[in-house]
Amino acid sequence: MAGAVNTDFVHRFEPGAPQNGRPLLLLHGTGGDENDLVPLGRLLAPDAPLLSVRGKVLEGGARRFFRRFAEGMLDEDDLRFRADELADFIAAARDRHGLAAPVALGFSNGANIAAAMLLRRPGVLAGAALFRAMAPFTGSAFAPGEVARTPATHGGPVQALVVSGAMDPMVTPDNRQRLLRDLRAAGVDVRDETVLAGHGLVKADLDIAGPWLAEALKT
């Protein structure tokens, strides 16, 4: 998808304690908005600054971060454009609020765009907790002729937590394995977990994510 990148997103920002601590970037699933994950973010990271973003794409009235052709069939050109657009917004928000590079917490569609940023824009995220994510790209994260960006570092490899549902009808085992393989090939240090659940979140997700985020937000 061609066009100038617009770094304006509807979003919600809540300062942390201390205000300049590493922030948690909240990325909602299909049909959500910038308010959906704030209670979860505050539960899992009580002291972190929260930056929660609303996706710009509408699908039958439901908000998303990028387009898809059908369930499980992503518009990868639009995803590349939207991932870069969101990455540029994060850079602008960091300058505006005086923030460190964030750790993302994404669910479903939000987890997919976070994964796309990990692959396309290394260094934008200091880490990511990805719930019910699928592989964002069937091949390379870069379109023909694009040049991969040089990673920025945050004191070590970027950490990612991937939590999948054992009975998730939307993410096949093969797709999940491709996601893990692509992230690791990009130099991401991945922790892979599966919980007894479908596509929705359950308590086991929170039990895994809480301690992981506590460590990720320290770095």
Cα gap 32→137, rounded to integer Å = 23
Q: Which of 15-24, 153-162, 184-193 has the highest mean pLDDT?
A: 184-193
pTM of the shown model: 0.93
Domain limits of the chain? 11-216
Residue 151 has pLDDT above 70, yes or no: no
Residue 18 has pLDDT above 90, yes or no: no
pLDDT of residue 155: 58
Residue 5 has pLDDT above 90, yes or no: no
Are residues 86 and 117 in contact, defined by beta-carbon separation less than 8 angstroms?
yes
Mean pLDDT to the nearest integer, 59-85: 95
pLDDT of residue 152: 53
Q: Do you find a cis peptide bond into 18, omega within 30 degrees of 0?
A: yes
Are residues 162 and 128 in contact, defined by beta-carbon separation less than 8 angstroms?
no
Percent of the chain clearing pLDDT 90 (strictly above): 84
| Per-residue pLDDT reduced to its tens digit, 118-139 | 999 999 999 999 999 999 999 9
Fold topology of 11-216: Rossmann fold (3.40.50)
Residues tagged active-site: 108, 168, 199
Q: Cα–Cα–Cα angle for 143, 90, 18, nearest 5°? A: 150
